[in-house]
Amino acid sequence: MKAKRRTFDIAFKLQVVRMVTEQGLSVSQVCKEFDLGETAVRRWLSQINVQKLEQAGVGKPLTPEQLRIRELEAQNRQLQQDVDILKKVSAFFAKELK
């Protein structure tokens, strides 16, 4: 039987990242203490580093600012698609009127 996948909230992820970055604990120490996989913790560390450099990043955002940026980027993409559609429709109707 497959084990149920655990989920962690953002506050917990940030706490784990702080333990590694600020308290100087190793990834393996933190993983043993919280019964976590090293891959997950290393991914969280990578996400924070990418977010500090203000790059797009992968996975779920770990900071509220990055979450807001991703929401705005998605909204921007949707609005751009809407504008493109309206341009095509207006060009179509402009041809029909001639």
Structure confidence at residue 27 (pLDDT): 93
Structure confidence at residue 78 (pLDDT): 94
- Sort residue 50 into left (φ over 0), alpha (ψ -120 to 50) or beta: alpha
CB atoms within 10 A of CB 17: 19
Q: What's the predicted TM-score (pTM) here? A: 0.56
Identify the sign of the CA torsion 30, 32, 34, 36: positive
pLDDT in tens, 3-62: 788 888 888 988 999 999 899 889 999 999 999 999 999 998 888 887 777 665 556 666
Structure confidence at residue 49 (pLDDT): 80
**Rounded mean pLDDT of 78-82?**
94
